[in-house]
Structures are given as C-alpha cells and as structure tokens.
Amino acid sequence: MLKPRWYKVINDLFGNKTRTLLIVLSMAVGLFAIGIILSARTILSEGLASSFAAIQPSSGTVRTLEPFDEDFLQAVRSMPEVQEADARRNISARVEVAPGEWKNITLFVIADYNDIRVNKVTSESGAWPPPEREILIERAALPVLGSNVGDVVRIKMPSDTQREMRIAGLAYDPAQLPAQFDSTPYGYISFKTLEWLGEPYGFNELQVIATHPEDKVWAQHVVNLVKDRAERSGYTIPLSMTAEPGQLPMDDILQGLLLLMGSLGILSLFLSVFLVINTVSALLAQQKRQIAVMKAIGGGSLQILGMYLVMVISYGILALLIAIPLGTLGARALSQMLATMFNFNLGTMEIPPQTMLTQIVIGLVLPVLASLFPFLVNLRISAAEAMSAYTIGKGRFGRNWIDRLLSGPNLWFTRKLSIRPLLLSIRNTFRSKGRLALTLITLTLASATFVSVFNVRSSLSSTVDDMIEWFNFDIMLTFDRSYRADKIQQEALNVPGITQTDVWIQLPARMVRSDGSESGMMYMFAPRIGDDALIRSPAISEGRWLIPEDDNAVVVPSALLQDEPELGLGKEIVLKIYGKEQSFRIVGTFVGSSFAAMIFADYDYLTQATNRVGEADALLVTTRAHDAASVEAESKALEEHFERMGLRVSMISTLPRERADAEAIFDAIVALLLVMAILLALVGGLGLMGTMSINVLERTREIGVLRAIGAPNRGVAQVFILEGITIGLLSWCMGSLLAIPMTQGLNAALGGATMGTPLTYSYSLPGLWLWLVVVLLLSAVASFIPARNASRLTVREVLAYE
Amino acid sequence: MEYAKVTMMRSGSYSNSYQAETQKSVNLDGRLVDLREVMKTYQGTAGTFTALKGVDLQVESGAFVSIIGKSGSGKSTLINVITGIDRPTSGEVIVDEVRVHALNEEQIAIWRGRSIGVIFQFFQLLPTLTAVENILLAMDYGAEYPAAERPERAMHLLELVGMADRAHRLPNSLSGGQQQCVAIARALANDPVLLTADEPTGNLDSKSAEMVFHLFENLARAGKTILMVTHDNELAARAQRTIRLADGKIVDEFTNR
C-alpha cells in the first residue's frame, strides 16, 4: 500500500498531462541533441577507421610519365623497405555528360580486379570485374555524371579516340576523393578495354605500403626510394606523394566536422543542463504553495524533498525513454548521411554505451541537482508567505537598476503613446530574473550558434574569394604535353569572346635538405610576372610577391617554413628539378599548407633554367563575359577549337566551376552545422515555451485583472507574446555579439582542419537578419500556446485560482 | 465639483467598434441594473451548490448600494454576475440596457472594460506598471478616449483620489490604502456607468478604510452608480440602500437615508 504522499506524486505526474508533456519534451530535446551528436561522432570515427583499414591503404603514390610493366612492379615489391606494392593505369579523359558538354573523368585500369593489394577497390553492384568495352563507375561519382547503371556514356581519350561504353556496375573506392567534391568522376576499365580505346598496355601509377606505414617520415623516405628506383630505371616522375598515415582523402574535413560536432555536443549539453534547471525550477515554483501546505500540516523537509526528487527523476526517465531511441535513430541517419557524403562504409551502427551513460546521467542526476537549489529556496519560505493571497503574481520588479531603467520617470516619453501593453510585457520580462537568465542563456547560445553557422558559411566564401583572388583568368586549359606558348595563345585568341591569354609551366620538384635528405613532392608553378599577367599575387603572409626583375626568386607556403626549420625568408632553398639540384631564394611566403606544397617561380627564369624556353603546360584565358554560362560556353568553344587544331587538352577548369566545387564542399559542412543549429534553436524554443507557460501559470491572477479592466482575448495573449518576443530579441542581440568569438573559434577549427589556417573572417548580415526572423517566429510560436491558454481563462476562474 | 467634472469628461463615441456586439436592446426605464430570476448553481465533485436562488434586483442609476451577508450567502456571486465575471445558470442580467448574460466572454471583457469599474479586495494593481500606467492601461484597452487625452485624464483621476504625487510609483512602494485609491482611479478610467467593489476595505486598516470609503461617498454624490459588497455593517449603512443576502436570496432590503 503506497503512502498518500506518493499518490500526490503520481497525480502530479499524470494529472496535469500538458505540464508533464512540456517538461518531458523540454528535457528530451536536450538529451536527444546530445545523443545524436555524441553517437554519430563515435559511429563515424569507427566507420572511418574500419573502412580505411579494410582497403590496405597506401603510404604513397609514385606516378610515371612512361608506362611500366609487371617486372618493374615486382622489383618494387622486392624492395626490403616496401611491405606491399601495386600498380594501375591512371588516365585523365573526358566524358560527355550532355550533348556536346564534356567533363573531366579519371579512368583507372587495373590488371586483376580480384587481387588488388593496395588501395582496394571493391564491387558495389552490377558486373565485376569490368567487362570488356564496358565501364564501372565509382559509386559516389554517379550523381556527378548524371547517369545510371545501364546507361551508355561517351568517353574521349587524350588521343581524341572516342568510344561509347555501357556502365556495367558500380565500384567502391574510398581511397579517392569523393567525386562530388571536385566534380571529377572515376571510371574503372580492363586492359582489354584500354586497348580498344587505342591506348598501349602498361601502368603509370605505383602505390606502395611502407614497412612501417604509421611512420610518416619513414613512409616518405620509402616513397622517395621507390621514386629513385623508378628514375634509375629510366622513368620520368611527374608526381609522387606521401599519404597522411591512417587517413582517407577527406579525413581532414571529416575530422574537422567531427571536432565541430563534438563542440556542438558540449554546447547542447550545456543547453540541456540549463533547460533542465529551468524546467525543474519552474516546476518547483509552481508547487511552492503545495510545499507550504505540506509543511503546514507537518511534512518533514526530507519527506517533501524525496517526493519532488522522485517526481523529477520520473520526468527524467520519461524524457530518456523518448530521447534515447530517437537519438539512436537520428545518430544512425546522420552517420549514414555523412558516410555517403564522404564515401565510406560504416562498420557498426551500435550506439556507444558511454553516450547512453552520458544521457542517463544528464537525464537523471542533473535534474536532481538542478532541483536542490530551488527546492531549498522554496523550503526557506514560510507557509504563511507561500500561501498569501495578498500578492499579485510572482517575481519581484522595481528593485534594481534594470527595473528602474524600465519604469517611472525614465520612460516619460512613452506616456502619450498608447503602449502600456508593450511596457507591461517588457517589464514582465524582467520579473523572474533567474528564470530569464536561464532562458536567455539557452536562447543566446542557440542564437550565437545559428548566426555563427552563417558566419562560417560567409567566411568560407571569403576564403574561397581569397584563394582565387589571384586568379585573374576565367578558363585554364591543361595540355597532355607541352606546347609552344605563342602558338596556343594565338589559337586561343582566334576563338571569339577570348580577350586575353597567358601561360605557365608546372613541374614537380623536391626540396633537398642540408643533410642530403629530400622532401616529398612539391609543385613548381611558374606564371609570367608582369602587369598584364593573369596570375596575381596570392595572399602574402611575409615578404613579397615575385617581380619581373627577379631571377631565382621563389614564393613558398607559410606552413613550409614551419615544417622545414632550415628555411626562412631571404634564405636559399635547394630544389631538385628533373633530377638536377638548383638553388632559389625565398622572397616571400603565402598563406597555404605544406602538404603537396606549391612553390611559385618566375616563368622566364624557370623556362631558361630548365631549357624549356617558350613552352607552356597550361593556357589561361579571360573571356569577354564572366558569368558562369558564358565562361562555360567559351570553354566548350576553346576545347572544340583546340581539338580541330590537333592540340591535346587533358583538363579544362573554369573559375566559376572551381568556385562552385569549392563551395559545394563547404555547403555540405554548413548544411550539417545548420541541422545542429536548428536542433539547438529547438532546444532554445522549448526552453522559452516552458518559461512562458510557467509565467502564465504564475500570473493567472493578473490575467484575471487584465480581463476585468477590459482586455480582450487578443490583448491578454499579446502581453505574453510580446514578452516572449522581448526575450527572443534580447537573445538575438546577445547571440549576435557572442557569435563573433564563436565564429572565430569555428573558423579556426574548420580552417585548421581543412587548410591548416583559419578561415577568412566574415560576419554574415543576411544570417543575422534571417535569425532575427526565425527568433521572432520562434518566440511568437513558443509564447503563443501559453498565451492562447491564458486568453481562454475566464475572470472567475483566475480570480478563484489557487 | 471635481468629481462631477471627472465623470463628465467622457467624450462619448470615440470608439464604438464593440457596440454592434453589445447592442443596447432593453429599455429599463431609468434603471441601470436589472436582475430577473437569476440563479447560479456550481457543479463540484462534492455535488451541486446553488449560490443564487432566483434573485430579482433593480438598481437605479446614480444609486449607492451596499450588499451585506454572511460568508457563502452569495454576495460576491451576485456582484460577479452583474459584472459578467460569472454567468447566471438561468435568469437575465441586464446592465445599462445590455443583456450581459447573452454576451460571450470576449464581448463581456470589452463591455466590462468600458462600462464597469471593478474594484477588488486585494487591489490587484499590475506590479510592473506605475500607478498612472495602471490607469492608462485600462484606458488603452477601453479606447474610450483619444490617446492624446489619456495621460491628462489619468492624472485628473489620481488627483481625484489624492494620489497625483505618487503617479509614477510602482504599486509595491505604495501602502494598501494608497493602492486601493489607485485601483479606484483605475476603475474610473473609462468613466463606467457602474462601479462594483467586492470588500474594498476588507484588507485595509481603519484609517485607510475610511479614506477609501470616503472616496466612494464622493463618487456617489457626483452621480456614480456604486454596488459594494462588505462585511462591515457600519460602512454598509452609509450607502443609500442596503441589500442583505442569505442562502442565495435577498432577504432584506432597506434605504439608509
């Protein structure tokens, strides 16, 4: 037989279903947010690690200009420093995505698809291995192609041979950058198909696993050894690179995202804590009179405390019953979405026990702790005071500077305005300052996060602007081999709409340290320097950009100076170009990472130093109109023109497309962040709704008075809706300020993870205004339901209240 | 005199948007309040309780009527039925030619704001508005006076109740008597045809009670119709007419002077 006080607990829990629902939902949203973020983070981290381990990732790649055969592969495999090696053919071709519209495609040719030893490619669906004269497409690349399995695509090889091939199935190749990020699809064919396409047999890409793949320095050494071996065997090496140990291509960005998710998880944890404290405080404030009654009839403090703790824990259990399963579903959906976006398979979908434990601790322990303070405050109030009917409403007003600022003589100018209901709302906002503070903290954090997400988007855009600011051209054509610069420039100018041309050469290089060791592959870009050049200075962090008077000057990435301590501004750097060591002087550094570093040198100097005077690897052109459609049309016209002239274009990039591709990566990140921000906004909105509901309950008597002096339904509701909007506006103001440092933190985290440098700071005013609209709607909706309930009360009901 | 001046300040038809809903449909031949066979029954878990049992009551315009009776006799219910705060279970409530019992809650709220001044035992001033703002709020809702005239009228009303020097004070800085004076001024905000007061001096010390009652007397002399519920027989006797209720019925009624 239960003691009567437990019946009170049960009746309080289930008697007022709306209140219980509101409290449970408020708690559940916070717990859901934590669950979804923490679980997704773990699922993704584990999935990434297991996917990576499953493909036998390479330590590095060495590409040759001339094809090599199995004998050379075997020679590399027999090197003691090499744990495993494999080879494939990598061809940059073009694919027709719409009549007359061509896109770059990378074709891989693998000798035995069932015995891939490094960077394994597996079958996703359809045929396996690729049938003769048919092609498999990487699964993430299908949307980029806009085709389906079974469709026929036209492929144009560098030799201009064109063939139609059926897409026979899908391959899964997580070692490649997901196609949507650089808009370049991947295709897989057999050597027989390659022959049919008019290309000779042979590999041009070696992928090796070092004996200690986890050691990047060793791995780089091994890659260099393989490269040296290749060069000794007579192969030209245009590219070699060492992979970051244990990382998939998009690992940096994904790690950045996971870091952000972790930060948002902590943020949502704080929000949940505030929400729980707010909700429990409000519940106890509501129960103040009943606590007093129980005290008056002899209830002991511990007995009463026990009752409320059980009630609070019950709310927590109910909230957990909603939050844990929904959080699990949400985390799985979110993980799947991100895994698809970053093109890797998730291993386990199991929710980590520590996430559930965190939720349970927050859902059960925190409400108990949160209830202790308000409970002790309520306990100190005498029964007589608690039951007094003398006071109207609750919450003190007029006792501090904020109240004084908002009342009396300070607002003399409002007296002739008919805005008393507004004044009433604004001042009511500040009556329960503790509750207001908790609500404001929740909503302000949500506001700051929302605005910061838009700021990050804007910062990413500014960063892209900075990145391409020094590109003063619209289209860049890379050729299959070097051509005479004056010839290709003249041909380009023959195409209507082309206004200016420029060229550069690009070549691989390696830094030679003073101890004789060599760095990984670097890329030297040698644009023409001068006022009419189409390459301007990138963002210089130290020193200066190249000038026409320079000879052996180079500009290097700032991060390279950090990684190579012997380098410095004004110092010499020894670069090995085409097997020959040459000394350059560092005249400036630009903002950039040291991974696959770009080094800029003067075209005239470098072409002379490498006996390539008058040659060009790439053609840069500007077009009369710079909009995306016009630039695309010009690029198509150029490609067709060069094709007719027999000049082999291997790749075409347009600036609008490059920008769109770069922004597409960022948009995916921002979309995810936005989902999180919306979740936080929901938590904030529910917090506000809880606060407003309690305000309505506490001010029921005042509602009666408003009714008695002639306030219509709309008038009563307006008082509470305006109060909610006031809180929303305050949170908007504070959130917009808090967003400044929050954006800096996010920019540093995201930029650091993806580019090694913080993003270019930019504050998004559209985001700020959008959030203003959202917060106004959110506040209005959150206070509308309690306000509507208030307006439905009759005077007799409220004057008889309590 | 000053009281008459304040009650005459009403500009009449500043806003008549509510009139369509509260059409004056009954001719009361000079009577302001007419209750016909009013019954009020409450349904509770403990059973039904009849608070008013077929009450008939007529109040002339300009009368000062006190209502007395023991606790539970139905005094507050009677006054609540007249102000529309409560609805009769049966019977008719006609105030100022308006059939109050036929109006819905929204219509009643608007009508009450413009036609009735309600004064509570516990003053019920809104704590975040100053004295003058409490009066102005009632005027804002009633919209009986142009917005530009409202501050001046509010200050006149505060002068009337002797609270002009405390116009910009918040209620919690006023004594109980002062709060009740402000509450009376608020009740007069829209120059209502009827003032109702439920135990207006019940929560005041004798000096404050006297001050407040004196205000009622002055208003009555200026022609205001006043219905006041009180426990205090002495104060009741100072009204023009007293009605005694017992068990939900008018059991006695007499003119005091």
For CA atoms B108, B111, B113, B115, give the dihedral sign: negative
CA-CA distances (angstroms) from residue A271 to A408, A446, A677? Answer: 35, 8, 12
Q: Give contacts of B170 with chain A, Cβ < 8 Å.
A: 397-398, 407-408
> β-pairing, A203-210 with A60-68?
antiparallel
Q: Report the candidate in A536, A534, A469 with the shortest Cα–Cα distance to residue A503.
A: A534
Of B80, B105, B133, the CB nearest to A420: B133
Q: At residue A285, what is the residue type? A: A
Collect all residues of chain A within an 8 Å Cβ-Cβ radius of residue B123: 392
Q: Pick the residue from chain B with its C-alpha nearest to A410.
A: B168
Nearest to residue B116, comparing CAs of B174, B196, B175? B196
pLDDT for res A206: 93
Pick from A390, A702, A712: CB nearest B126 = A702
- Residues from chain A that touch B127, judged by Cβ atoms under 8 A, are 392-393, 397-398, 431
Burial A130-163 (b: 16+ CB within 10 A, else e): bbebbbbbbbbbbebbebebeeebebbbbeeeeb
pLDDT at B20: 42
Residue B6, pLDDT above cutoff 50: no
Q: Among A590, A600, A524, which Cα is nearest to A561's? A: A590
CA angle A538, A541, A547 (to 5 degrees): 55
Q: What string of DSSP letters covers A329-342?
A: HHHHHHHHHHHHHT
Tokens matching residue A301: 């403090």
Mutating which of B42, B86, B128 best tests the A interface, going by the most A Cβ atoms within 10 A?
Answer: B128
- Partner residue facing B109 (CB), from A419, A421, A712: A712
Ordered structural domains, chain B, with CATH = 2-9+17-23+61-85+104-255 (3.40.50.300)
CB contact under 8 A, B126 and A424: yes
Q: What distance in Å separates residue A713's CA from the closest CA in chain B?
A: 6
Query: In this predicted model, what pLDDT tens digit does every residue of B19-74 receive, in sequence order?
Result: 444 555 666 667 889 999 999 998 877 788 888 998 999 998 889 999 999 888 88
Residue of A nearest to B115 (CA): A710
Predicted local distance difference test score (pLDDT) of residue A793: 67
> Which of 25-84 (B) contact A at CB < 8 A?
80, 83-84
ipTM for the complex?
A: 0.79
Sequence-ordered list of residues with C-beta below 8 angstroms from that of A605, at least 6 positions apart, any chain: A526, A550, A551, A552, A553
DSSP string, A99-110: TTEEEEEEEEE-
R_g of chain B computed on alpha carbons: 18
Instruction: Please answer whether residues B114 and B18 qualify as being in contact, where contact means their C-beta atoms are separated by less than 8 angstroms.
Output: yes
How close B126 gets to chain A, by Cα (Å)?
7
**To probe the interface with B, which of A412, A420, A718, A723 has the most B CB atoms within 10 Å?**
A420
Provide the chain B residues 159-218 that lie in CB contact (below 8 A) with chain A. Answer: 168-170, 172-173, 186, 189-190, 203
**What crossing angle do the helices spanning A420-429 and A713-755 adopt, rounded to 10°?**
50
Cα dihedral B239→B245→B251→B255 (10° resolution): 0
Find the mean pLDDT for residues B234-239: 87
* pLDDT of A417: 63
Compute the half-sphere exposure of residue A684: CA atoms within 13 Å on the CB side of its CA: 34
User: What is the rounded distance in angstroms from the CA atom of residue A398 to the CA atom of residue A401?
Assistant: 8
pLDDT of residue A142: 87
Label residue B11 by pLDDT band (50, 70, 90). very low
CB contact under 8 A, A708 and B125: no
Q: Is residue B148 very low, low, confident or very high in pLDDT (cuts 50, 70, 90)?
A: confident
B22: closest CA of chain A, how far (Å): 14
| pLDDT the model gives residue A189 | 95
Contacts of B52 (CB under 8 A, 6+ apart): B38, B39, B40, B74, B77, B78, B81, B88, B248, B249
Low-confidence ranges of chain A (pLDDT < 50): 389-392, 594-595, 801-802
Distance from C-alpha of A745 to C-alpha of A750, rounded to nearest angstrom: 9
From the list A398, A416, A794, the residue facing B170 with the nearest CB is: A398
Of the residues A402, A403, A429, A709, the best mutation for testing chain B's interface (the one with the most B CB atoms within 10 Å of its CB) is A709
